[in-house]
Amino acid sequence: MKRIIILYAAIGGGHYRAADGVKKYIDSEYSGEYNVELVDGLQYVSKKMNNLVISSYVKMARHSPNTWSKIYKSGENGKFLSKLSSSFQKHYSKKLYNLFKDEDPALVISTHYFMTDEVTNLKKTGKTKAKLAVILTDYAPHKFWLFNSEYVDCYFVANNPMKFELSHYGIPEEKVFVTGIPVRPEFCQEYDKSKTLESLGLSQDKPTFLVFGGGQYGMSDSSLIFKGILDVRQDVQIIAIAGKSEKTQKTFEDLAKASNKKVAVLGFTDRVAELMYASDFVFSKPGGLTTTEILVSNKPFFIFSPVPGQEEENSAFLTNNGAGYRLWDLNKVTPLIEEFISDEFHINNMKAMQRHIAKPDSTKNIVEKTLEII
């Protein structure tokens, strides 16, 4: 039985969700044919480094976004950060080798550039002959993904502009496949909308707004969004997902108590696909995987508080293509919503562009192509 290792890094939830979606598809559609192992690669090589990287990213993104923006841009334009990253990865690739040496995998799938760099170092030094497939999990590429690209067998990207950009960076076109970002199977299902809303104490005859509380680390001003919807004059209702942030959940609950609108506040939940299906509009930061899930679900998308770097680029891609609406001033949300929800022309155009961009068969196409190469 051929062995496949899927590597991710838990810096944000998207890299894991992409990896998990691919594993679930292989396990479901190719049951018993492959031994698939899902590994948090950064946690595997160093728990201390994993905690340091995550905490540093969260602190910068939350309290000093300009610092993170400079780091992100320096990775695109400068050589110093590239050399620093490569030096770092060479050290940790030696630790990752323990995962490979007993039973060398036939295929490695990477959903994070840290892991990609470590595996290419192992290939470069002859410590593994595994094929390497890399899945870019945002809507614009970054040069971090392209270190040692000659040791990558194939890249999977979200859109055609990314393929052209990679070709300008010197990546052969035949190595780049425009498949979309992997989405978990539950987002391609249909649900009973009435039952979902009823289970939350909500009505079937009111516009339903789904609000995400700021991603895995609660990094946003989602309370302003929540309050802005509560102040809408139309009779609407809200599903608010606070995630793991107890502070965000309490804020939502306190604001809801002062309103006569119907509201369902949830903490961490595995019902996101079902809740998205039951909603009419979605408010979220534009993380790569969340964006993909919204596009596949085909829901009008209000974008707020993107982190500089990848999320800013995701936001630009969506707004440039008419597939999302960027909320720039979160203190002026209410009138924008009141106008938008009665503008059928705008709503229909946005949904049409989402259908044009979305690739609901992304996971299937990625898996089929990666299995071809082994």
Confidence of residue 49 (pLDDT cuts 50, 70, 90): low
Confidence of residue 11 (pLDDT cuts 50, 70, 90): confident
User: Which pLDDT score is estimated for 89?
Assistant: 63
29 against 45, higher pLDDT: 29
User: Which pLDDT score is estimated for 343?
Assistant: 95
Q: Are residues 152 and 273 in the same domain?
A: no
Beta strands in 16-100 (DSSP E): 34-40
- Indicate if the pLDDT at residue 205 is higher than 80: yes
Q: Are residues 135 and 271 in the same domain?
A: no
Confidence of residue 60 (pLDDT cuts 50, 70, 90): low
User: Which pLDDT score is estimated for 102?
Assistant: 77
What domain range is 246 assigned to? 190-357
Nearest-angstrom CA–CA distance, 358 and 351: 10
Report the side by side order of strands in the sheet with 107-110.
34-40, 2-8, 107-110, 131-135, 154-157, 176-178
Number of H helices, E strands in the chain: 16, 12
56 against 324, higher pLDDT: 324
Neighbour tally for 44: CB within 10 Å:
18
Confidence of residue 183 (pLDDT cuts 50, 70, 90): very high
Q: Are residues 92 and 59 in the same domain?
A: yes
Q: Are residues 171 and 197 in the same domain?
A: no
User: Which pLDDT score is estimated for 291?
Assistant: 97
Report the side by side order of strands in the sheet with 262-266.
262-266, 237-241, 208-212, 281-284, 301-303, 325-326
Do the bridges between strand 34-40 and strand 107-110 make them parallel or antiparallel, or are there none, so unpaired?
unpaired
Q: Are residues 170 and 210 in the same domain?
A: no
Q: Are residues 9 and 140 in the same domain?
A: yes
Q: Are residues 72 and 132 in the same domain?
A: yes
Nearest-angstrom CA–CA distance, 255 and 236: 15
User: Which pLDDT score is estimated for 236?
Assistant: 96
Q: Which among 228, 222, 219 is positioned nearest to 287, based on CA atoms?
A: 219
Greatest Cα pair distance in the chain = 65
Q: What is the total count of domains within the chain?
A: 2
Q: Are residues 158 and 195 in the same domain?
A: no
Q: Which among 245, 192, 204, 201 is positioned nearest to 223, based on CA atoms?
A: 245
User: Which pLDDT score is estimated for 6?
Assistant: 97
Q: Are residues 139 and 71 in the same domain?
A: yes
- Indicate if the pLDDT at residue 196 is higher than 70: yes
Q: Are residues 272 and 300 in the same domain?
A: yes
Q: Are residues 48 and 145 in the same domain?
A: yes
Q: What is the pLDDT of residues 164-177, one digit of tens each?
A: 999 999 999 999 99
The listed range with the strongest mean pLDDT (61-65, 85-89, 206-210) is 206-210
CATH number at residue 58: 3.40.50.2000
pTM to 2 decimals? 0.90
Q: Which among 39, 61, 43, 40 is positioned nearest to 52, based on CA atoms?
A: 43
Q: Are residues 171 and 219 in the same domain?
A: no
User: Which pLDDT score is estimated for 193?
Assistant: 96
User: Which pLDDT score is estimated for 90?
Assistant: 64
